[in-house]
């Protein structure tokens, strides 16, 4: 390969043989070749004259050709360039409607060329197992071509990265000055060739398989400066070398690229075979790029080549480019502006999952296209740079203006996917430790480190790594691990290999934090560390199997949390049910559009992939894995995972690979026997939507299964009605746990489940909620369970009591059993001492809409009498713990107390109201308060304001302005909306129009005030007097939100018409049909809900004396 970086005007040219050619020889050669060029032009003109009678393309075909592909041309119009440059300044989109679309004027986007930012030379040293194409660092200078096309050289005259790029590839190629700072001229053609749709791979959402990436050498220049935070945080520039392997012949290169502007693109090769070559002895050729364009619909960069790449040979793709730092969405390369040590500061970091690596560097941005990476980050000396690997070397660089920059080089990564590469540039500091010889660092703001906010995360990170290494018998392969928290991070946390990123809230512990926050930090750190194996070491082949990442990370989040918190270990099943299974039950059903594992689909946009990250893959995935671990046993479970992780390390897998490795360990033992192969069992759980209802007839012992449908879908006959699962059933009979049985048909008789008439004979299926399904019983079965609860509830495990209430109320809601059957289970509650069970009862018995509507119904008095009689004994247990400051010793209570506290105060329990007054008074007086009272801070604030005067309200407003209580602003707004004083609420709504006082949360003031009984009337009056100001500040949509809230108590057509009339003076005539439809829908929901209230009322009247 020819040595780069020499100007033939001063030193001569290095020939292919390695000898320098003098300037005189070069000049002579230049003259001779120029003369030859004149002859060629004359001959070409003659040929053109002879061929001028050939029929031209039809005008229609010509128009089609021009419309189909707009090539990158030196002579492109200024108007088009300006439009594209303006479009490229748009922030990286977070939603489909903001992404590039086919509706744009040109569906093929020209490359934007905003002024060059060429990097200065910088040595990059370190072990590289791939071809190095420069003697002084990746892409430091224009690479010399030995046979490439005539490419003009661009000279940069501005910017922090000024450096003249000069070509020495051929004496004919004189250095030229660019008058507009444009890129090298990549194309002489006016349009791309006319291609048929089947031969237009840029229209396909998956990359072609002709090229495979082997290694990336990336240099990023982060322009952020502490003295120019706003301006310097907007852009970055990069230079990249990708070593690729050609698999099949191709004359076209497709990569992913999003909002990147290119100045220079080069293709070199074929590269020498064997180990790292000596560029002095082994020159490399150049493959000419004849045409290049962007296809924004698929986020592709397309390069047409003048030669066909050879299978089995390696090539180098080189890019010199720039891009934008995202200022709003936290995707791609983004910025955070924040306060630390009383100063305004900024950082720049990355978030690339699922498909935003392409917004930082052009790449093969698919999870299976793994490669190794060498990263170099150039940054201001004030900052420190972090990436996936440890720092290899640091040096200094000076730009054309004399400014000093730090160049940080990182070690080579293992083979990995693009979406887990990571970068961060900040002035953070860290605390550190060592775990099994590897450094662990927690990075955070200086204030947070000084206050000890990173200490808890540091104390758990290393031990979690060690535990997982022991569980899997697979070592963590990287030499270090960094965890860093950002002030604003929409993703909450991301598992980047070796550099895990978090929202501060989930990594940094605040002073006097309540235990619930500590549990959140522990579980989040555990989740992301589990990803270092599931997702990073072994990655799904395509996003349809993302559950292999997230399901396992969620399961081990639970598994590790209970190990590292002994209090939760005692309630491990309850913790899992409350935190995982219960949440997904609310979303899942047979007509659900989502399954855990979907078919391999060519997702056409990032939003399609984003939509896969839902409750199914996280929560349902973890439930399925827990069920599998239970019926396999932990020994076989971990042996199967070890085999799976070892086999697919640094590679990719799909769901069947996991099943195969579980089957392998099953086949080598005889203790655990399954009714069929594990694939046959598990495919039904991952490929079918929803879950089964398992119904036991205790008279006959017959068990049947059917898919769970929502009430509105039960009578809609679809193929889903025939779905069945192979169901593991752990069960209990009369307090004794029975052996596992399998339901592998739609129905089956289990004689051992047949019960006698004795009240001592009862059965519970799905003990400890190990299976992902609901359980129903015949009338006798439910009656036996109700009786045993009244007699001795503790014979049924806590988890099963939770599950009984969840299943019963859900089955009643959707018409599988009578509501009265579920209500019968509540009779024993005076004996229920577990707050987590009360939490589940109240959430099902008193949903939010019931709180809002029941004040106007006689049922409130009935509920108050019925529940307070049962709730008071349990209340005294936990109110005592609050007053004695011992609540922190009960982690399960911490996770469950809020609904119980809120209900007790809502029902008027005097001790609850008094406790609220006591805590609120201590807050106002700044005196020592109860520990962990912030667990119930919203409830205390709400009832404190509701029972207080304007002084309590003003105290919260002051807290909002100063944040002296370290409370979430939304919680403060909700609490201030609890006032029952009309003039206070009216003034609060007036404050919402003050843009200096309330900024992001202002619209929440209107909706929260309107949600209370007093506030509903205040909101109407406020809108009459201020609707124009409201419309100006919040827009039309706020009126639809308020209309829906104000419609909560309507039950008649006349009430609908009255509300329509009210809003007709505010909304335009064109909006009234939408409003009418929404109000009618709300009325029907209210009528349906009212039927439930009638049933509850009748049942309470009959059972009040029990």
The number of residues making up the chain comes to 1106
User: Long-range contact list for 875-881, CB < 8 A, 24+ apart?
Assistant: 875/900, 875/904, 875/909, 875/911, 875/912, 876/911, 877/833, 878/835, 879/911, 879/912, 879/915
Cα separation, 519 vs 557, whole angstroms:
11
Cα separation, 371 vs 244, whole angstroms:
9
Would you say 292 and 187 are in contact if contact means Cβ atoms under 8 Å apart?
yes
Residue of 383, 476, 558, 618 marked catalytic: 618
Would you say 551 and 596 are in contact if contact means Cβ atoms under 8 Å apart?
yes
Instruction: Copy the structure tokens of residue 536.
Output: 């990073």
Inter-CA distances, 625 with 95, 456, 576, 593, 639, Å: 31, 29, 12, 21, 14
Give the strand pairing for 493-494 and 499-503: antiparallel
618 is catalytic: yes
559 is catalytic: no
Sheet holding 384-387, edge to edge: 332-340, 343-351, 423-426, 384-387
Among candidates 541, 537, 527, which has minimal Cα distance to 618? 527
Compute φ and ψ for 660, nearest 5 degrees. Answer: -60, -40
Residue of 151, 528, 574, 902 marked catalytic: 528
Cα separation, 705 vs 684, whole angstroms:
14
Inter-CA distances, 769 with 554, 580, 731, 803, 1038, Å: 17, 11, 10, 7, 42
Cα separation, 1099 vs 617, whole angstroms:
39
Cα separation, 822 vs 785, whole angstroms:
11
Nearest-10 crossing angle of helices 621-632, 634-647: 120
Cis peptide before 354 (omega within 30 of 0): yes
Cα-only R_g, the chain: 34
Would you say 732 and 740 are in contact if contact means Cβ atoms under 8 Å apart?
no
Cα separation, 679 vs 658, whole angstroms:
9
Q: Half-sphere exposure of residue 571, counting CA atoms within 13 Å on the CB side?
A: 22
Q: Is 144 left (phi over 0), alpha (psi -120 to 50) or beta?
A: beta
Would you say 1019 and 1046 are in contact if contact means Cβ atoms under 8 Å apart?
yes
Cα separation, 313 vs 195, whole angstroms:
27
Q: Is 259 strand, coil or helix? A: coil
Residues tagged active-site: 528, 618
């Amino acid at each position: 390969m020819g040595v780069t970086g020499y100007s033939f005007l001063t030193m001569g040219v290095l020939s292919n043989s390695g000898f320098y050619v003098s300037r005189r020889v070069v000049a002579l050669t230049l003259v001779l070749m120029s003369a030859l060029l004149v002859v060629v032009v004359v001959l070409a003109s003659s040929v053109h004259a002879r061929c001028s009678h050939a029929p031209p393309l039809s005008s229609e075909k010509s128009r089609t050709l021009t419309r189909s592909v707009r090539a990158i041309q030196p002579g492109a119009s200024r108007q088009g360039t300006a439009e594209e440059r303006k479009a490229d300044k748009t922030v990286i989109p977070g939603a489909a409607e903001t992404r590039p679309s086919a509706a744009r004027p040109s569906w093929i986007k020209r490359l934007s060329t905003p002024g060059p930012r060429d990097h200065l030379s910088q040595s990059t040293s370190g072990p590289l197992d791939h071809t190095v194409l420069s003697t002084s660092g990746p892409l430091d200078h224009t690479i010399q071509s030995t046979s490439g096309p005539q490419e003009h050289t661009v000279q940069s005259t501005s910017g922090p990265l000024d450096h003249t790029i000069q070509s020495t590839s051929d004496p004919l190629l004189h250095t030229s000055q660019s008058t507009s700072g444009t890129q090298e001229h990549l194309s002489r053609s006016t349009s791309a060739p006319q291609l048929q749709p089947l031969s237009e791979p840029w229209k396909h959402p998956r990359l072609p398989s002709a090229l495979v990436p082997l290694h990336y050498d990336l240099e990023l220049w982060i322009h952020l400066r502490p003295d120019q935070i706003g301006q310097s945080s907007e852009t970055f520039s990069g230079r990249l070398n990708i070593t690729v392997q050609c698999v099949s012949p191709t004359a076209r290169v497709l990569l992913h690229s999003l909002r990147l502007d290119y100045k220079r693109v080069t293709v070199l090769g074929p590269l020498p075979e064997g180990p790292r070559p000596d560029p002095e002895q082994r020159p490399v050729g150049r493959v000419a790029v004849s045409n290049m364009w962007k296809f924004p619909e698929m986020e592709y960069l397309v390069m047409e080549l003048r030669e066909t790449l050879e299978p089995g040979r390696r090539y180098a793709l080189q890019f010199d480019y720039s891009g934008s730092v995202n200022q709003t969405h936290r995707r791609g390369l983004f910025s955070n502006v924040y306060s630390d040590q009383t100063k305004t500061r900024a950082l720049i970091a990355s978030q690339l999952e699922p498909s935003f690596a392409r917004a930082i560097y052009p790449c093969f941005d698919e999870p299976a296209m793994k490669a190794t990476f060498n990263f170099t980050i150039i940054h201001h000396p004030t900052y420190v740079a972090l990436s996936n690997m440890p720092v290899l070397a640091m040096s200094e660089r000076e730009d054309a203006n004399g400014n000093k920059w730090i160049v940080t080089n990182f070690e080579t990564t293992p083979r990995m996917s693009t979406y887990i590469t990571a970068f961060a540039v900040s002035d953070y500091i860290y605390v550190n430790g060592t775990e099994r010889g590897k450094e662990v660092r927690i990075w955070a703001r200086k204030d947070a480190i000084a206050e000890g906010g990173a200490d808890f995360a540091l104390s758990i990170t290393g031990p979690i790594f060690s535990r997982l290494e022991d569980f899997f018998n697979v070592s963590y392969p990287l030499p270090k691990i960094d965890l860093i928290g950002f002030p604003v991070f929409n993703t909450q946390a991301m598992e980047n290999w070796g550099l895990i990123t978090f929202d501060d809230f989930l990594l940094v512990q605040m002073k006097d934090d309540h235990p619930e926050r500590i549990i959140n930090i522990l579980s989040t750190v555990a989740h992301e560390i589990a990803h270092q194996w599931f997702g990073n070491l072994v990655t799904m082949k395509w996003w349809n199997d993302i559950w292999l990442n997230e399901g396992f990370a969620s399961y081990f989040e639970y598994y590790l949390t209970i190990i590292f918190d002994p209090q939760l270990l005692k309630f491990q099943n309850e913790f899992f049910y409350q935190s995982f299974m219960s949440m997904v039950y609310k979303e899942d059903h047979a007509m659900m559009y989502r399954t855990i594992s979907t078919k391999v689909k060519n997702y056409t946009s990032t939003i399609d992939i984003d939509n896969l990250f839902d409750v199914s893959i996280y929560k349902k995935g973890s439930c399925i894995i827990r069920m599998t671990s239970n019926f396999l046993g932990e020994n076989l479970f971990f042996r199967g995972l070890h085999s799976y992780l070892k086999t697919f390390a640094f590679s990719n897998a799909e769901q069947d690979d996991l099943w195969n490795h579980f089957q392998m360990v099953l086949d080598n033992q005889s203790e655990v026997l399954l009714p069929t192969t594990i694939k046959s069992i598990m495919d039904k759980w991952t490929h079918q939507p929803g879950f089964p209802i398992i119904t036991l007839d205790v008279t006959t012992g017959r068990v049947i299964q059917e898919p769970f449908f929502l009430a509105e879908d039960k009578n809609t006959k679809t193929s889903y009605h025939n779905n069945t699962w192979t169901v593991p059933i752990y069960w209990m009979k009369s307090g004794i746990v029975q052996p596992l049985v399998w339901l592998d048909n739609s129905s089956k008789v289990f004689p051992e489940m047949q019960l006698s008439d004795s009240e001592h004979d009862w059965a519970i299926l799905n003990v400890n909620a190990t299976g992902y399904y609901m359980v129903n019983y015949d009338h006798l079965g439910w009656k036996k369970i109700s009786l045993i609860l009244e007699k001795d509830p503790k014979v049924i495990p806590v988890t099963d009591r939770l599950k009984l209430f969840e299943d019963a109320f859900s089955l009643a809601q959707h018409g599988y059993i009578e509501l009265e059957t579920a209500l019968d289970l509540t009779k024993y509650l005076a004996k229920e001492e577990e707050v987590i069970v009360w939490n589940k009862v109240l959430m099902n018995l008193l949903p939010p809409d019931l709180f809002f509507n029941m004040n106007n119904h006689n049922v409130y008095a009935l509920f108050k009498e019925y529940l307070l009689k049962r709730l008071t004994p349990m209340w005294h247990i936990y109110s005592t713990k609050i007053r004695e400051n011992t609540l922190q010793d009960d982690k399960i209570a911490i996770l469950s107390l809020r609904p119980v506290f809120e209900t007790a105060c809502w029902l008027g329990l005097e001790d609850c109201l008094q406790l609220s007054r006591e805590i609120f008074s201590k807050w106002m007086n700044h005196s020592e308060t109860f520990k962990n009272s912030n667990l119930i801070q919203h409830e205390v604030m709400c009832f404190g304001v509701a029972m207080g005067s304007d002084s309590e309200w003003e105290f919260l407003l002051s807290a909002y302005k100063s944040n002296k209580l370290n409370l979430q602003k939304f919680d403060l707004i909700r609490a201030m909306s609890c006032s029952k004083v009309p003039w206070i609420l009216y003034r609060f709504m007036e404050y919402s129009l003050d843009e200096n006082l309330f900024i992001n949360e202002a619209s929440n003031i209107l909706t929260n005030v309107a949600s209370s009984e007093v506030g509903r009337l205040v909101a109407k009056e406020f809108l009459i007097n201020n609707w124009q100001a409201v419309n100006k500040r919040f827009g039309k949509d706020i009126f639809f939100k308020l209309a829906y809230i104000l419609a909560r108590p309507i039950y008649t057509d006349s009430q609908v018409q009255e509300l329509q009339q009210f809003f007709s003076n505010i909304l335009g005539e064109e909006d009234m049909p939408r409003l009418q439809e929404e109000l009618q829908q709300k009325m029907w929901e209210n009528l349906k809900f009212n039927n439930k209230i009638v049933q509850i009322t009748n049942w309470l009247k009959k059972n009040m004396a029990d």
